[in-house]
Amino acid sequence: MVTEQLFTLKTVMGWVAVWANVETLLGLSFGHRTEPQALRLLWKKCHFFEMHALGVGRPKSGWQTDLASRLADFAAGRQVEFENVPLELTHLTNFRRRVVEACRRIPFGETVTYSQLAVRAGSPRAARAVGTTMAQNRFPIVVPCHRVVGADGALRGYSAPRGIVLKQRLLSLERRGSSSSRL
């Protein structure tokens, strides 16, 4: 019995591909121009050959349907939290797991530097390793690596399609969403 599944959805910010099982999110790709591009990047990022054997379907469990709805809302500019989305993190080292968990706690509409995130993850001298972890993030948006910036506040790389352009768009969208939610 196959317990893993793929599903896609089209948002105003592009196609999203989700790989999940009944209990956890296994991987996600965001912001693609086409559904096949979203699926290709997800497969490439997650490195699992079994994914090719899965058909693309619809969300099957309650948390998956909720995730799809939240991703669409986020892309439309609404303030959405993803901190309670269950993630499969067994592929990560303890350090990388701490970085992912610390990144998940960065509030909507705010940014931190790679060095600040390293401190929050308990490894203050590991800013470069934090950057590597963010570049290999399997869960963009859910683990908001777009909220991590350089020491001077400049946007550094972003592994999603359109790179820094998409990162800037996400941060602008969040700043508008967080300021309007405070009114």
Residues that are catalytic: 145
End-to-end CA distance of the chain: 50
Neighbours of 6 (CB within 10 A): 20
The answer to whether residues 54 and 5 touch, using CB atoms and an 8 Å cutoff, is: yes
Beta bridge partners of 87: 25
The answer to whether residues 103 and 84 touch, using CB atoms and an 8 Å cutoff, is: no
Strand pairing category for 14-21 and 25-32: antiparallel
